[in-house]
Amino acid sequence: MNKHILVGVVASSLLAVGALAAGADLPVTTLTVNGQRILAEVVSTPEQRAKGLMNRFSLQPDHGMLFVFEDPQPLGFWMKNTYIPLSIAFVDVNGRIVNIEDMKPHDETRHQSRGFALYAIEMKQGWFAARGVKAGDVVHGLPAPAKR
């Protein structure tokens, strides 16, 4: 095998392992919305929520991140140091999606919930739209609020 090809394969493999390991210490839960399954890494501490999907270069199909908060509140997210275009669904205490916003990589524009939310779900951009998921739909399988 050509030395340059081998180096490229090794580098690609290391990037893939790094991307998988980035969330390796986070619990994963299965959510459903409109019959669609989401495998979501769960972040529930201020430190985990602040990091979110920063510095990741990919997401597997139907994988995302679930942000769990202590109390329902207006939520705002931005994309500093985030490489993947994402869509975010803000979800209220009853599991109902309040609104969905598309977010661009490295954009520091704040994307807000249009009401009080207890959860936020980040997926690859367009995931919700491609599956017909919209505001008002209910997410099942959500964990209890984060502990104080």
Q: Where are the domains of the chain?
A: 26-140
On the question of pLDDT at 68 being above 50, the answer is yes
On the question of pLDDT at 20 being above 90, the answer is no
Mean pLDDT of 69-75: 98
Q: How do residues 80-134 score in pLDDT, each as one tens digit?
A: 999 999 999 999 999 999 999 999 999 999 999 999 999 999 999 999 999 999 9
Residue 24 binned pLDDT confidence (cut-offs 50, 70, 90): low
Q: Tell me what percent of the residues of the chain surpass a pLDDT of 70.
A: 84
**DSSP string of 27-83?**
-EEEEEETTEEEEEEEE-SHHHHHHTTTT-----TTEEEEEEEEEEEEEEE--TT--
Return the pLDDT at 17: 39
Domain spanning 26-140 has what CATH number? 2.60.120.1140
Name which residue leads in pLDDT, 141 or 15: 141
What are the phi and psi torsion angles at 63 (to 5°)? -110, 145
Only one residue has tokens 């529930």, namely 44
